[in-house]
Structure 1
Amino acid sequence: MKIFDRKLWLGSVLLLVTVHGFAQQQTYCNPMDISYRYNFEQLNERISYRSGADPVIINHKVGNKPGEYFLFVTISGGWWKSKDLVNWQYVVPDKWPMEDMCAPAALSVRDTLFLFQSTFEQRPIFYSTEPEKGKLKFYNRWLPRLPKDIGPWDPALFHDPDTDKWYMYWGSSNVYPIFGAELDHSRRLTYKNPEPSKAYQPMLWLDPWQHGWERFGPNHSDPIKPFTEGAWMTKHNGKYYLQYGAPGTEYNVYANGTYVGKDPLGPFEYAPYNPIAYKPGGYATGTGHGNTFQDNFGNYWNTGTTWLGIVWGMERRIVMHPAGFDKDDQLYANTRFGDFPHRLPTSKWQNSNELFTGWMLLNYKKPVTASSTLDTLRAELTADENPRTFWVPTKNQPGETLTTDLGAEHDVRAVQVTYVDYKNTIFDSDSTVYTQFRLYASKDGKKWNKIADLTDSSDRPEPRRDRACAYVELPAPVRARYVRYEHVYTAGPYVAINGFRVFGNGLGKAPATPPKLTVVRQKDQRNADITWQKVPGAVGYNILWGIGKDKLYQTYQIWNDQPNKLELRALNVGVPYYYAIEAFNENGVSTVSEVIGPR
């Protein structure tokens, strides 16, 4: 498997546009670097946390101009806009519905953006021809109330360009299915059938007895009845792909799946290659409840929700992965190295793996020291790739530092600093909520050079904004053994950092291909036991699998300090699979092993 395209990389370097001495950002890294909002939802419980979940990214095109991207997120008081999928500016609407929007539906049709909130009551559909300015108007005054507990909660709007018909899909329950309904455009997008009890029909149900990945709990280990939610519809080559999230937002296995039909209201058939977006291992685990959209170059993307859950169970962040349809119209999302830096495309890609930069994680469980430590919230917890462990200094004051020792000199390319809320007292985001820090590098731990400055005195001035998942791409490689974070400002009484992640390339060799990959399908076909032989110098491994030798779209990342075995519990009954493995370290990625299967 190709790690990265060197010609593409060199071309990107030559095309760098410098602004105030810094190169224009060419890459991104999950979780997405947006100004996550403090969530007033738990104000009564006095629990303060930033969160983002249930994303919808819309490519809104006006006339022949390139589209502008709009991101809508649960309970965020507004939305974000971007021209490049990496620099997101928060937009405050001029009016807002009766309450903030949870899991909003958004759709762009003929220069108009439509917006609708999750509800069990009568609520309006809004529209805007100037979403970049926060302008909202009523498209209708309300949709009729449906029977008790039906919804529409977690809705998705869909317009079929070939028939000019409109639809809505929804569902968020472990009791009810995903529902669908046709909307009547001639009556301002109210239900086609005016009788509320007949306005909708079931589209799909979860079947965890046949679909291993739909089982609840961490690694699908909990017998609780799973939840389905987050409907989305994509039309491709005359087929309708009705997507849904399962089995629950608070687990590493939160994923997106799809059913496929020839009509917007079905019947739909389960796709045997499900789930389409799945990332159970690594730092930013979980990809469920998002949407599928195309960028201005025609590339597909799949968004989703990754779980944090430190101070509150619904504390989450947003992820975005390259996606697409293969030659057989199979829908997939590429989560291989999904929380490592990826390039922003400048054209239509031929293979989504081209977007992976090849910049590896340089400091997994490497030594980290701090200027001070509060209780047992130690510095090394920022390098264990566990988003639920974190460091806290004794005081939230400028000058507090984290220093990671990479163990040897490496070419540093990017740094991600991710924050969490520890005993915080903020319940709304205002002008006092922003993030500032500096980064330094050193070869010997004595002489330090500043490599990034996110403060008011930065060489790259920018508006103050909160960056809970701050990602800093360096304009050029920096040869260093040590990297230091110097704190300047975050709001609240404490600083809490759960990820100090350094990316780049080592000066040594990539590991060898892991030998002796074995896969044994259990009597319960939803499960398979996978083993392999570890190789010297490896930091981790990617288990790759799929329904064909050329369709290894699924990835499970395992660290080398974990056992060399995996019980994979995400398989579909009656579906044969193929498997392979690769190893990686600070220097790169091995070649992929021989593909084995079907089994």
Structure 2
Amino acid sequence: MNVTMIDCMKILVLLMVFLSFGQISAQQGQVITLADPTIFHDNGTYYLYGTSRADEGFLVYRSSDLKQWEGPVGKLPEGFCLSKEKVYGDQGFWAPQVFKKDGRYYMAYTANEQIAIASSDNPLGPFVQPKQAAISLEQRMIDPFVFNAPDGKTYLYHVKVANGGNRIFVTELKDDYSGLVPGSTHLCIEATAPWENAESAEWTVTEGPTIVEHEGLFYLLYSANDFRSKHYAVGYAVSTSPIGPWKKADENPILHQQMLQVPGPGHGDVFKDEKGQWNYVFHTHHDQHTVSPRKTAVIKMELDQDASGNRGWRVFPKSWHYLYER
């Protein structure tokens, strides 16, 4: 075989490309596998939380640029920021949300299919409860999202697991987060559209609420279908009030498997980066055949205005990517 100088050059270029990909992969490390993820931005640092070791508590990762993620880096052993020894619950630690009020950090979370709120002086934890209790034990409640509304009230968006399905409700929280205000619960979202029950399941699912307020309107982002279904997807609804009524968007779902070519995208949270760009952090199935461990991803999005002047969420499919440990 006659190998020319040009052939040798081509082989050398291909080898260099192969080696560079290997270096990039080595620098990236493993894909992060937190389900039901949330990203909290504070003082120039991004903190990533989610469901992983559900019988122990919550891990936390951090990044300065949304690209390189360090962790887990929680203050507790093994990188936990919340451990079951210091809070309510002993299993089923799911779907955390972290927020800041009056200089203190709070984590709303699910455990034992109830909702509790712990606090810390650091986003790395440890998040603890002086009184280890759920905010209510009236029935099964999961997927909390605490929203401090412009009207001065604090609302808890949550999912009730009962009567044939998972439905999203909102209830006013007491000022000290110790419990719910009696008689203040309103139904927000239940599965009524075809995409929200793609497999015609007897038990319907709407879950994973996130609230964004913008220019006087309230946007409720949520996921529908069972999380184990490849049809798990994200939609949103709009209201002029934090308690509704809610109008579902005509363009739902806005995030789904056909768009990303991976199954089960959903149950995430909205956040703004340092440039003011809206982002949605979410999980996908592990691969085409396996649900868990679910992978953590981010996609860019914006509130776009149509020809009629109505605003709605639009995502940028080419921007989505998984998050990797450094």
Normalised to the residue count of structure 1, the TM-score between the two structures is 0.43
In the TM superposition, residue 115 of structure 1 has moved relative to its aligned partner by 0.4
Alpha carbons of structure 1 residues 304 and 122: separation in structure 2 relative to 1, 3 Å: closer
Measure the CA separation in 1 of the matches of 2:219 and 2:131. 27
Q: Specify the alignment match of 1:319 in structure 2.
A: 297
Of 232, 248, 258, the residue aligned with 2:226 is 248
Secondary structure of 2:35 counterpart = coil
CA-based RMSD of the aligned residues comes to: 3.4
Per-residue deviation, 1:337? 6.5
Partner of 2:159: 171
| Structure 2 gap segments, 5+ residues each | 1-23, 77-81
CA distance in 2: counterparts of 1:182 and 1:471, whole angstroms: 38
Q: Counterparts of 2:101 and 2:231 in 1: how far apart (Å)?
A: 33
CA distance in structure 2 between the aligned counterparts of 1:243 and 1:190, rounded to whole angstroms: 26
For residues 40 and 119 of structure 2, what CA distance do their matches in structure 1 show? 13
CA deviation profile, 1:381-408 (whole Å, cap 9, x unmatched): xxxxxxxxxxxxxxxxxxxxxxxxxxxx
Query: Does 1:154 pair with 2:143?
Result: yes
- Tell me the matched-pair count: 283
Q: Is the 8 A contact 1:177 1:202 kept in 2?
A: yes
Does structure 2 conserve the Cα–Cα contact (< 8 Å) formed by 1:206 and 1:228?
yes
Partner of 1:338: 320
Q: Deviations over 1:445-465 (max 9, x none)?
A: xxxxxxxxxxxxxxxxxxxxx
Match of 1:58 among 30, 36, 40: 40
* Aligned equivalent of 2:129, options 123, 138, 151: 138
CA distance in 2, matches of 1:471, 1:262: 40
Q: Is residue 273 from structure 1 mapped to residue 255 from structure 2 by the alignment?
A: no
Distance 1:256 1:237, change over 3 A: same
| 1:332 positional shift | 2.2
Residue 126 of structure 1: aligned partner:
118
Query: Residue 180 of structure 1 aligns with which residue?
Result: 170
Structure having the larger proportion of residues in strand: 2
The one-letter code matched in structure 2 to 1:164 is: G
Say if 1:155 and 1:231, in contact at 8 Å, map to a contact too: yes
Q: CA deviation at 1:110?
A: 4.6
Letter in 2 for 1:318: T
Q: Conserved in 2, the CA contact under 8 Å of 1:60 and 1:111?
A: no
Q: 2:108 maps to which residue?
A: 116
Aligned to 2:14: none
Q: Which runs of 5+ in 1 are unaligned?
A: 1-24, 37-51, 342-468, 473-599
Q: Assess if the C-alpha contact under 8 Å between 1:109 and 1:159 holds in 2.
A: no
1:251 Cα offset (Å) = 3.0
Tell me the percent identity. Answer: 22
Match of 2:96 in 1: 104
Residues 181 and 191 in structure 1, CA contact (< 8 A), matched pair in contact too: no
Which residue, out of 47, 58, 63, partners 1:70? 47
* 1:520-547 alpha-carbon deviations (Å, 9 max, x no partner): xxxxxxxxxxxxxxxxxxxxxxxxxxxx
SS in 1 for 2:283: strand
1:215 and 2:215 aligned: no
1:105-157, Cα deviation, whole Å (9 max, x unpaired): 2223354321022145666411223124x3324376434434233x1x01111
3-state DSSP of counterpart to 2:133: coil
> Between Structure 1 and Structure 2, which shows a larger proportion of helix residues?
2
Look up the equivalent residue of 2:50 and give its one-letter code: V
Q: What SS class does the counterpart of residue 280 from structure 1 fall into?
A: helix
Whether 1:235 and 2:213 are equivalent positions in the alignment is yes
SS across alignment from 1:240: strand
Query: Equivalent residue for 2:265?
Result: 287
- Seen in structure 2, the aligned counterparts of structure 1 residues 320 and 213 have a Cα distance that, compared at 3 Å, is same
* Cα 1:253/1:126, change in 2 over 3 Å: same
> Do structure 1's residue 300 and structure 2's residue 278 form an aligned pair?
yes
Distance (whole Å) between structure 2 residues aligned to residue 248 and residue 277 of structure 1: 15
State the Cα deviation string for residues 46-103 of structure 1 (Å, max 9, x = none).
xxxxxx3111111124xxxx3x211111134421111111222212343523436211
Aligned to 1:85: 66
